Amino acid sequence: MLFFVLASLGIWFYIGNTTKEITFQLFDKADFYVVYNDSIKSYRANEKGLEEIHDEKVNVADMDIHPWYSRGAFDSRFLVFSEETRPFTNGKANIVSIDFKKGVIRKNPTDFDAYSGAGYSDDYFYTHQATTEEGSFFSFDEQGNFISSITFDESTSADSQFSGKNGEIYFIASQESSDEEGVYENKLFILSEKPELEIKEEILMDDNPDFIYGFNASVVMGDFLYTQSVMKRDRLTKEKLPDNRFLKFNIKTKEKEWVELSEYFPNLVFKSEDEQKLLIVHEENSLGKSGISIVDTTTNKNQFVDVSQIVGSNDLSLATIYHAYLTKENKLLILTSQNLIYYDLDKMELLDSIENAPEEVYSGIYIWNAKN
């Protein structure tokens, strides 16, 4: 049965008894949208700063969206992400799909939400659920409909962020070593997506005899998979040591190249609009400040943007980075738990910083380029 309900936060309508849809406004003059749990804001950008066009209060997500987990962007139109539940909590979470052509938010209740991680490929959004006995991956289309799944028969804990392309999904996952009981090592798994999820190849990434690396997130661009080591653990003493490198892994040749960053604890990763640069977010609590390393993948040169300094606060919880976006004009947009920052990388100059309303603090989800 199809029926409609008007609500104060938009127009809600239900399809059957499961999927819920909510409408929101689109604007031709908007350069980008910023998505929060409870609102979508539209902005114009120029050389001097940001101009807010509209602030629409709308129920985007019913639950938290984990800032470490990937969101998927498809066909320059759909943004897809998973609400977050914890294992053993009651109730279903939603896979949320936002259509930036029609102005529709679509929520699909599921048991396969991301409580361990999330990823995306050219065609699908993925969630990951890990337990002490297994690890499962679930794929969804651009509208948040469940497609397929695969389950490993042993504990398999994957990156919080992962991605794929050309009909394959790539993720680094930790499994118990076949040579040493109680020691968990990282493997790169390559899965074919069609006609169903199937393991195509697995490659040991922890091939260093002295250390096990703390990989947490990866992204695929061109022929390379990029992943950073937050810290490394001594195999003998079990001591954890800070690391300041990312790994450039050639998918075709399997060659590995380590590249040093100027700051330690690289944790999360986003890619630039032109897929030439990495935006590597550092783990702020370990580093003692919030910031992003911008890496030119053609030269491996990198520069660090100190977000704590821009925000002007020693309270790291107010400078947590939820999403970062780099335009073709080399303008950096950073969504933090308290601010939306607009930064010129060529001039290393702050163009604008807008403080979020109190109700939006800690609820940032994504920066969407409206000109795709």
Residue 295 token pair: 């890496």
Report the distance separating Cα 92 and Cα 110, nearest Å: 6
pLDDT > 70 in the chain, percent: 94
Closest to 251 (Cα-Cα) out of 295, 211, 205: 205
pLDDT in tens, 106-152: 999 999 999 899 999 999 999 999 988 889 999 999 999 999 999 99
Residues, the chain: 372
Provide mean pLDDT across the span 280-290.
97
Lowest mean pLDDT among 33-42, 277-286, 326-335, 355-364: 355-364
pLDDT band with cut points at 50, 70 and 90 for residue 287: very high
What's the rounded mean pLDDT across residues 99-103? 98
Report the C-alpha gap between 198 and 172 in whole angstroms: 15
Task: Give the count of beta carbons closer than 10 Å to the beta carbon of residue 123.
Answer: 18
Contacts of residue 90, defined as CB under 8 A and 6 or more positions apart, other chains included, come to none
Distance (Å, whole) CA 67 – CA 257 = 28
Average pLDDT score over the chain: 91
pLDDT digits (tens, 9 = 90+) for 3-53: 333 333 344 444 444 789 999 999 999 999 999 999 999 999 988 899 999
Measured in whole angstroms, the distance separating CA 8 from the mean position of its chain's CA atoms is 30
Structure tokens at 312: 């002007």
